[in-house]
Amino acid sequence: MYDKLWLIPFFPLLGCIINGLLGKRFIKNEKVIGAIGTGAVFLSFLVSCKYFIQLLGDSVKSHENIVASWISVGNLQVDWGFLLDPLSALMLMVVCGVGSLIHLYSIGYMHGEEGFYRYFSYLNLFVFSMLMLVLGNNALVMFVGWEGVGLCSYLLIGYYIEKQSAGDAAKKAFVMNRVGDFGFLLGLFIIFWTLGSKHGVWTINFVEISENAHLMSGDMMLGAGVTTVATLCFFLGATGKSAQLPLYTWLPDAMEGPTPVSALIHAATMVTAGVYMIGRMNVLFAMSPTTMFVVAMVGALTAIFAATIGFAQNDIKRVLAYSTVSQLGFMFIAMGVGAFTAGIFHLMTHAFFKACLFLGSGSVIHAMHHALHHAHLDDDAQDMRNMGGLRKKMPVTWATFGISCLAISGLPFFSGFFSKDEILWWAFASTRGSMLVWGIAVIAAFMTAFYMFRCLYMTFYGEQRTNPKAKDHIHESPWLITLPLVVLAFLATVGGLIGIPHVLGNLLGHIPNKLEHFLAPVFEHSQKLHQIEAHGSAATEFGLMGFSVVVALAGIVLATIMYIRNPELPGRFTAKFSQLHRAVFNKWYVDEAYDALFVNSTKNLGIFCWKGFDVKVVDGIVNGVAKLVGALAATLRHTQTGLFQNYALTMVLGTVVMLAIFILN
C-alpha cells in the first residue's frame, strides 16, 4: 500500500541529475529545463496527494517503507527507510505544493540567466533533500536530508558565483549550520547509546525511539536527565537550521541568493526543518520540561529580537528575512509550550504567506531591476527607498503582497490569525506556558504588524521614489510569476480554516479543528502522558483573541501614521534616537561581535598552532637535533683526512688494541 513512498524524493533527484548532466550541453532550451524541474516536483506533489488521501482514509496512521539497508555494523542497523504519518504527510504537501509553485515562478524569474540549468538542478536537489528530511524513518536518513538541504542552501546562496558577498554568505550559512549539526549528531549519539547500552534497544528509528523513550526517564547524564541533555543537543541543531538565537545570523545574509530560493528554502521549507524535527521527536522533548522551557524562551527572544532589527532595514528582502527569523521564533514558542499542532500549523500558514511575500518582493525586484537596467542606472533594486507607489504599476503583486501582510499580522480570518492565535493561547494557558513567554510573543506580534506594514507602505504606497529615468519602465510581471502569487495569496487567506479553534468553531456551529484531529496520532500521546494541555475558560480565550487582534491593529495603525499620514515622522524619529537607530540598523553589531569572538580567535589559534607550535616547537626540536648531529659529524669529519698514512695508523692502532684484548682474555 505504502511501498512506493520512495517515488516522492525520487522524481526531484531524477530531475536534478537530468538537468545537471544534460542541461548545459544537450537540452539548453530554458522551457524544457524549466519543465523538467517543475514537472519533477509536481509529480512528487501528485504522489504525495495520493498518499495523503490514502492516509486520511486509513485507520492505521503510521507506515514505513524500507528500501534497502544502508549501514549495518553490529548493533547499529540503519536503513534507507521512509515513514509516512500525518506529520510527514502534511509536510509533504507543503514542501511539494509550495515547491511546485516556486519552481514554476522560477522559470519566469530566472529567464535569461546564464546558469539556468544549474539553478534548476540545485533547486531539484534541494527538494529531494527536503523530502528525505521529511520522510526519513530514522534520525540518520533525516540527517542526510538535514545536511543535504544545507548543501543546496550553500549552492543556491552562492549561486551568483562571481559575487564575493554571495560566496561569503554561502560559506557562513553552511558553517553555522554545521555548528547546529554538531548538536544534532551529539543528540543522536546520546539517544542511541543510552537506549542501547542501558536498555538493550539499539535503534535510531523514530517510531522505536518514541516507543521506548519512556525507558530513559530515570537516566542521568552530566547531572541532568539524559533526555534533557539529548534534546538540548538536538535543539542546538534546530537553532542552526531554523536560524534562532544564537545561530540566526546566516539567514539575513542568505538573501544573496535568487529571490525564489529565499522563498522556498529560507522561508517556506528548509528553515522550518528545526520545528519539524522537534515535532518528529516530540515524545523526547515532552519528557524534558527544562528543554521545553529553553525552546520556548529561545523562540520568544528570537521572535522579538529579530523583529527589532526588522524595523530599520531598507532592503526589502532583509526585512522579510528578519521577519522569517521572528516567525520561526513563534513556531518554537509553540513547540516549547507543548502546542505541537499549533507550531506545525504556523509552519504551514507561514509557508503560504511568507512564500507569497518573498515571491512578491521578487516580482518587485524583477521589475525594478528591469527598469533600472533599461535606464542604465545602478541604483539598488532591492532598496525600498527606491520604491514607493508601485501599487498602480503592479496591481497583482500589490494585492497578493497586501493579503499576505494581513495574514502575517494576524488579522481575523486570514490564515495567520488562526495559527498565531493558537500559539498565543497556548503560551498563555498551557501547563508548559508562562506569562513571560506570552508577553514577549504579544509584543513581537505587535512589532510584526508594524514592520510588515512599514514594508508594504514603503514599497507600494506613497510617492514613487524611483529614479525618474526608470520610473516608466516598471511593469507588472508576467503570468509565470503572478500565477504562483495568486495561488499562494489564496492559500494565505483560507489556509487557516483547517485549524479553527474549538471556541470559535463551537460558536460558528460545530466546526471541528480538522488539523488537530489529523495530527493527533502524532502528538496526542506525549501530550496526554505529560499532562501538556491548555486550560482556561472560553471567555478568557475570546478575550485573548480580541486582545491580539487589537495588538495587530495597533501595529498597523502605527505604521499607517508613520509611513502614510506623516512620512516625515520616521526621519525625525531616527534623528532623535540616532544611536539607537544605528545600532538597530547595524543589526545590534552581532556579526561584528561574532567575528571578534569566534572567527578571529579561531584564525589566531590556527596561526599559533602552525607558526608557533609546528614550525617553532616540533620542527625546532627536529632541526635542532639534526644540527646537533651535523655538528657532531662535522667534528668527527676531521678524522677523515683523506691521508692514507692516517688511516694506516688508525688500522695499526686498532689491530694492536684488539690483539691486546684477545691475548689478555
Partner 1 sequence: MNDHLLSLMTFFPLVGMLIILFLPREADRLIKTVTLIVTIIVFIISLPLAFDDVFINSSAMHYTEFANWISIGQYFQMNYNVGVDGISLWLVLLTTFIMPIAILSTWHAIDKNTKGFMALALLLETGMLGAFISLDLFLFYIFWELMLVPMYFMIGIWGGKNRVYAAVKFFIFTAVGSLLMLVAIIYVYYFSVEAGVPFENGFSVAHFAQLDIPAHLQTWLFAAFALSFAIKVPMFPVHTWLPDAHTEAPTAGSVILAAILLKMGTYGYVRFAIPLFPVATMQFTPFLAFLAVVGIIYGALVAMMQDDVKKLVAYSSVSHLGFVMLGVFAMNLQGLSGGMLQMINHGISTGALFLIVGFIYERRHTRLIVDFGGLSKVMPVFAVIFMIVTFSSIGLPGTNGFVGEFLILVGAFESELRIFAVFATTGVILAAVYMLWMFQRVMMGKVTNPKNEKLKDMSAREVAIMMPLLIFIFWIGVYPNTFLDKMNPALENMIKQVKDKQHIAMMVEDMDQTVTQATVND
Q: Give the range of 158-166, 244-252, 391-399, 655-663 binding partner 1 by CB under 8 A.
A: 158-166
CB of 85 to partner 1, least distance (A): 23
123 neighbors 104 (Cβ within 8 angstroms): no
Amino acid at 530: H
Q: Give the range of 63-71, 285-293, 344-352, 554-562 binding partner 1 by CB under 8 A.
A: 63-71
The helix/strand/coil state of 639 is coil
- CB of 57 or CB of 74, closer to partner 1: 74
Cell output for 362: 521578487
**Preceding omega of 246 cis (within 30 degrees of 0):** yes
The answer to the question of residue 10 lying near partner 1 (CB under 8 A) is no
Pairing, β 76-84 against β 224-225: unpaired
* Sole binder of partner 1 in the list 197, 467, 506, 650 (CB under 8 A): 197
Residue carrying C-alpha cell 475558560: 537
Whole-angstrom distance, CA of residue 170 vs CA of residue 162: 12
Task: Look at residues 302, 304, 237, 303 and name the one whose alpha carbon lies nearest to residue 275.
Answer: 237
- CB of 170 or CB of 333, closer to partner 1: 170
- CB of 147 or CB of 516, closer to partner 1: 147
Task: Look at residues 525, 521, 62 and name the one whose alpha carbon lies nearest to residue 287.
Answer: 525
Task: Look at residues 270, 328, 333, 263 and name the one whose alpha carbon lies nearest to residue 297.
Answer: 333
- CB of 247 or CB of 406, closer to partner 1: 247
Q: How many residues does the chain have?
A: 665
- Number of other CB atoms surrounding residue 148 within 10 Å: 20
CB of 189 to partner 1, least distance (A): 4
Q: Which of residues 429-488 bind partner 1 (CB under 8 A)?
A: none
* Sole binder of partner 1 in the list 151, 443, 503, 583 (CB under 8 A): 151
The answer to the question of residue 72 lying near partner 1 (CB under 8 A) is yes
* Sole binder of partner 1 in the list 57, 59, 164, 665 (CB under 8 A): 164
CB of 531 to partner 1, least distance (A): 33
* Sole binder of partner 1 in the list 14, 113, 167, 389 (CB under 8 A): 167
Give Cα separations from 371 to 112, 366, 391, 475 (angstroms).
16, 9, 16, 8
Whole-angstrom distance, CA of residue 86 vs CA of residue 68: 23
Cell output for 502: 474549538
* Sole binder of partner 1 in the list 28, 31, 50, 178 (CB under 8 A): 178
- CB of 596 or CB of 653, closer to partner 1: 596
- Max intra-chain CA distance, the chain: 124
CB of 16 to partner 1, least distance (A): 12
CB of 141 to partner 1, least distance (A): 9
Q: Give the range of 175-183, 268-276, 376-384, 394-402 binding partner 1 by CB under 8 A.
A: 175-183
The answer to the question of residue 76 lying near partner 1 (CB under 8 A) is yes
- CB of 629 or CB of 648, closer to partner 1: 629
CB of 595 to partner 1, least distance (A): 14
Q: Give the range of 58-66, 156-164, 524-532, 570-578 binding partner 1 by CB under 8 A.
A: 156-164
- CB of 618 or CB of 658, closer to partner 1: 618
Residue carrying C-alpha cell 533525516: 142
- Number of other CB atoms surrounding residue 67 within 10 Å: 15
- CB of 182 or CB of 585, closer to partner 1: 182
Task: Look at residues 441, 448, 405, 444 and name the one whose alpha carbon lies nearest to residue 425.
Answer: 441
Region of 589 on the Ramachandran plot (φ > 0 left; ψ -120 to 50 alpha; else beta): left
Whole-angstrom distance, CA of residue 105 vs CA of residue 387: 22
511: which DSSP letter? Answer: -
DSSP per-residue letters across 525-546: HHHHHTT--B---HHHHHHHHH
Element (H, E) at 224: strand 224-225
Whole-angstrom distance, CA of residue 14 vs CA of residue 125: 9
**Residues touching partner 1, count (CB under 8 A):** 55
Residue carrying C-alpha cell 667534528: 635
CB of 343 to partner 1, least distance (A): 26
Residue carrying C-alpha cell 479553534: 501
Whole-angstrom distance, CA of residue 418 vs CA of residue 438: 16
CB of 33 to partner 1, least distance (A): 16
Question: What is the rounded end-to-end Cα distance, in angstroms, of the chain?
Answer: 96
Give Cα separations from 58 to 61, 511, 520 (angstroms).
7, 22, 14
Give Cα separations from 463 to 379, 387, 471, 556 (angstroms).
17, 9, 11, 19
- CB of 580 or CB of 626, closer to partner 1: 626
587: which DSSP letter? Answer: G
The answer to the question of residue 6 lying near partner 1 (CB under 8 A) is no
Beta-bridge partners for 592: none
Cell output for 466: 524611483
CB of 634 to partner 1, least distance (A): 17
* Sole binder of partner 1 in the list 99, 158, 299, 336 (CB under 8 A): 158
Beta-bridge partners for 120: none
Cell output for 272: 522550518
The answer to the question of residue 549 lying near partner 1 (CB under 8 A) is no
- CB of 221 or CB of 584, closer to partner 1: 221
Q: Give the range of 45-53, 193-201, 484-492, 541-549 binding partner 1 by CB under 8 A.
A: 193-201
CB of 236 to partner 1, least distance (A): 12
Residue carrying C-alpha cell 502569487: 485
- CB of 175 or CB of 399, closer to partner 1: 175
* Sole binder of partner 1 in the list 14, 49, 93, 179 (CB under 8 A): 179
Whole-angstrom distance, CA of residue 274 vs CA of residue 133: 11
Q: Which of residues 592-651 bind partner 1 (CB under 8 A)?
A: 602-603, 605-607, 609-610, 613-614, 617-619, 622, 626
- CB of 506 or CB of 604, closer to partner 1: 604
Q: Give the range of 142-150, 274-282, 419-427, 480-488 binding partner 1 by CB under 8 A.
A: 142-150
- CB of 181 or CB of 541, closer to partner 1: 181
CB of 65 to partner 1, least distance (A): 17
CB of 214 to partner 1, least distance (A): 22
CB of 168 to partner 1, least distance (A): 8
Q: Which of residues 493-532 bind partner 1 (CB under 8 A)?
A: none
534: which DSSP letter? Answer: B
* Sole binder of partner 1 in the list 181, 253, 421, 516 (CB under 8 A): 181
Residues lying near partner 1 in the complex (CB under 8 A):
24, 68-74, 76, 140, 143-144, 146-148, 151, 154, 158, 161-164, 166-168, 170-171, 174-175, 178-179, 181-182, 185-186, 189-190, 192-193, 196-197, 602-603, 605-607, 609-610, 613-614, 617-619, 622, 626
